[in-house]
Amino acid sequence: MKPQLFAVDFILLCVSCGASALATSVLAASTSSPSANITSLGTAHRFGKDEPAPSKSRRKRFISQNDMIAILDYHNKVRGRVFPPASNMEYMVWDDTLAKTAEDWAHSCLWEHGPPHLLRFLGQNLSVRTGRYRSILQLVKPWYDEVKDYSFPYPRDCNPRCPLRCYGPMCTHYTQMVWATSNKIGCAVHTCHNMNVWGSVWKRATYLVCNYSPKGNWIGEAPYKVGVPCSACPPSYGGSCSNNMCFPALKTNYLHWFK
């Protein structure tokens, strides 16, 4: 018999455009395989820490070039293909500052969202996996897969307003990915040893942290406006449009990151 693994999702949604927030959680049972994967969004309980991280002088990058490109391009692919179509979807670019904050949190190896003082301003998606994997997107795609439980503009089967012990599917990883004004992302990946994930110690876990700015998932707001693509872009984009997204004409996707 295959062992049973509990997969837990959390969400931190702002009640209003202030500092107050509503933390909700969803608990769902799933069957584990040789490679188990869990994603999380929001505030969870504090669990165990990793062994001391190597000195920062030995770490030159928050994430590999290939993984960074894959994550960024996948987000923009998803954002450009939302249905119904978005009139104000902004092209997402890589942000080194967000990547550094993601790196700091990934090295904590805590299966929860944080740090709390940054979550007031940033959105965050988490994913953890054991076993071998072929692509970093295996940790990212489960966020998008929540689209099957989402009906624009509000969830059909998942409810971000549910109390702390509600049960059911989640949508908020997906909605953060396609939140129109969340136009910056920075991620980090770290291998955690003896990571405590809901009471189970994972000897070797791949932990992915992605931070978004400006944050999304505001309760009562839709992730984007429906309409002709790029018809409601902010004036700062100067009318530039690419792949159904408001495009920063004078900015690059990630070339500056390699200088």
146-186 residue pLDDT tens: 999 898 987 656 665 554 445 567 889 999 999 999 999 99
Give the tens place of pLDDT for each residue, 105-162: 999 999 999 999 999 999 999 999 998 788 999 999 999 999 998 989 876 566 655 5
Instruction: Judge contact between 78 and 177, C-beta under 8 A.
Output: yes
Go through the domains of the chain in sequence order and give each one's CATH number: 65-246 (3.40.33.10)
CA distance readout (Å), 248 to 83, 120, 213: 22, 26, 16
Look at residues 141, 146, 143 and name the one whose alpha carbon lies nearest to residue 70.
Answer: 141
Q: What is the pLDDT of residues 33-58, one digit of tens each?
A: 334 555 543 323 223 334 344 444 34
Amino acid letter, 16: S
What backbone torsions phi and psi does residue 73 show, to the nearest 5 degrees? -65, -35
DSSP 7-65: EEEEEEEESSSSS-EEEEEEEEEEE--SS-EEEE-S-----PPPSPPPPGGG---SS-H
Cβ atoms 223, 134 nearer than 8 A: no
The 3-state DSSP class for residue 250 equals: coil
Q: Rounded to 5 degrees, what angle do the CA atoms 234, 239, 243 make? A: 95
- pTM score: 0.75
Tens digit of pLDDT for each residue in 214-237?
A: 999 998 899 999 999 999 999 999
Report CA 159 to chain centroid distance, whole Å: 18
